[in-house]
Structure 1
Amino acid sequence: MFDTSFFVGLFPIMFRYVDVTLGISLASLVLALAIAFIIAAAYYLEIPVLKSICHGWVSLFRGTPLLAQLFWICYGLPQIIIPMQKLSIMTLIILGVAFNASSYMSETLRGALSSVNKGQMEACLACGMTRWQGFCRIVLPQAMRVAVPGLSNNFVDIIKQSSLAFTLGVTEIMAVAKMEGATNLKFLESFTAVMIVYWLIVTFFNYVQKLLEKVLSRMY
């Protein structure tokens, strides 16, 4: 029988660890966006060597499971990259999630950049701008408006992917659900509660996305 009192009592416990989930997600988002920007710029500006490196990066992180990547980054790479041994497990998880997300975000940005008329860059060059200046000042701002829905979906995926942190010993809301369910042998209540918490978080950020889209629409 479904234990309603136990189910309701789980929410205060889980909400105490929401900051851990959001901390991982937001830090991963910032780093992933920075990497995705570099990748998208390398493709758009046709930078030969960097473009080849970025292609390999995207292929690797899109073509392998995130869980395998997290174990590789947290336990594999530190064996050969000594400075990584000084990083906390939380930092390594953020790196893993960000690296994975950047491969998808870069494709979102590439699609948005391709939607901008090529004549925009030609006009920039005609005005005396460099390709880099034209990209940053004219092309990218237009592309970002198109990219917002896709990037927002990528961020939602990051929030859900952060649940894998519990497999590496980080206590966040998924870990709480697993521990409470195992301790009390009430898995249905525990995992129903954690699904609702994730659903509420994602719903909130979807609402923020809609507001951001409206603001950007007014700007144009």
Structure 2
Amino acid sequence: MAGLLPVILSYAPLTLGMASLAMAIALALAAMLAVVRVLKVPGLDRIVAVFISFFRGTPLLVQLFLFYYGLPQVIAAFRSIDGVTAAVAGLTLHFAAYMAESIRAAILGIDRSQWEAGQSIGMTQLQLMCRIILPQAARVAAPTLLNYYIDIIKSTSLAFTLGVTEMMGAAQKEAAGSFRYFEAFLVVACIYWAIVEALSFVQRRMETRLGRAFAR
């Protein structure tokens, strides 16, 4: 088992890199989707609602297969897509749909007086949203968004189904080559567990600090 640890752990940078990239893009996309939903932008609001419904209502694995195996058959531009790109794209859109609803809820939770104060000094809805509402909403939603990052990290384990050798893919290969399935999968499980526990600790500290800030 000790020999498997460094081998599988060497793929942790790829796992965390995929998760971090997906999180960054998903967060930006989710903020835009949430703003469209809150402001009820004509023409876009319904499209965004369908987007969120689809990606929240279908399994992540199905979405990954659509990106990697399905789209290349119908769209020529996707024929050269690699497993990492497909995995990041799938993770991004899937979790953007969930994060958009969390950010939307945080925005709607901001006191109405904040909106009225901004409007009273002549700010447009977009200016008000970007300068006043979103920064406060981000503070409220931060612990939940960090929890989604944890979920993304765990979900990268599905990337091996697209031929990506990340931590789960490395464990699968090591297990198949040595027939040490229990040891290989136990090692990768422990690595994921350690990462999640570290991030969960950060999340708890964040929630405590935010709780103190709002109590003042």
Report the TM-score when normalising by structure 2.
0.93
Aligned pairs for 1:166-177 within 5 A: 166-177=160-171
Partner of 2:53: 59
| 1:98-143 deviation line (CA, Å, top 9, x unaligned) | 1101111111111111210122112111111000010111111111
Q: In structure 2, how many angstroms separate the alpha carbons of the residues matched to 1:219 and 1:140?
A: 17
Secondary structure of 1:48's aligned partner: coil
- Which amino acid in structure 2 is aligned with residue 151 of structure 1? L
Unaligned runs of 5+ in 2: none
Q: Is residue 83–residue 159 contact of structure 2 (8 Å, CA) maintained in 1?
A: no
Indicate the percent of aligned positions where both proteins have the same amino acid.
42
Partner of 1:109: 103
- Which amino acid in structure 2 is aligned with residue 80 of structure 1? V
Which deviates more from structure 2 when the two are superposed, residues 115-124 or residues 125-134?
115-124
Q: In structure 1, how many angstroms separate the alpha carbons of the residues matched to 2:199 and 2:92?
A: 18
Q: In structure 1, how many angstroms separate the alpha carbons of the residues matched to 2:209 and 2:24?
A: 21
Deviation at 1:152, TM superposition (A): 0.8
Deviation at 1:188, TM superposition (A): 1.4
Partner of 2:28: 34
- Which amino acid in structure 1 is aligned with residue 96 of structure 2? S
Which deviates more from structure 2 when the two are superposed, residues 139-148 or residues 199-208?
199-208
Aligned pairs for 1:122-201 within 5 A: 122-201=116-195
Count of residue correspondences: 214
Which deviates more from structure 2 when the two are superposed, residues 165-174 or residues 208-217?
208-217
Deviation at 1:48, TM superposition (A): 2.1
- Which amino acid in structure 1 is aligned with residue 95 of structure 2? A
Q: Is residue 36–residue 44 contact of structure 2 (8 Å, CA) maintained in 1?
A: yes
Q: In structure 2, how many angstroms separate the alpha carbons of the residues matched to 1:217 and 1:127?
A: 30
Deviation at 1:218, TM superposition (A): 7.5
Structure 1 vs Structure 2 CA RMSD: 1.7
Partner of 1:17: 11
Q: In structure 1, how many angstroms separate the alpha carbons of the residues matched to 2:191 and 2:161?
A: 19
Pairing 1:82–2:76 present: yes
Q: Is residue 38–residue 104 contact of structure 2 (8 Å, CA) maintained in 1?
A: yes
Instruction: Name which of 81, 91, 102 aligns with 2:85.
Output: 91
| 1:176-199 deviation line (CA, Å, top 9, x unaligned) | 111222222221111111110001
Partner of 1:3: none
Partner of 1:49: 43
Partner of 1:202: 196
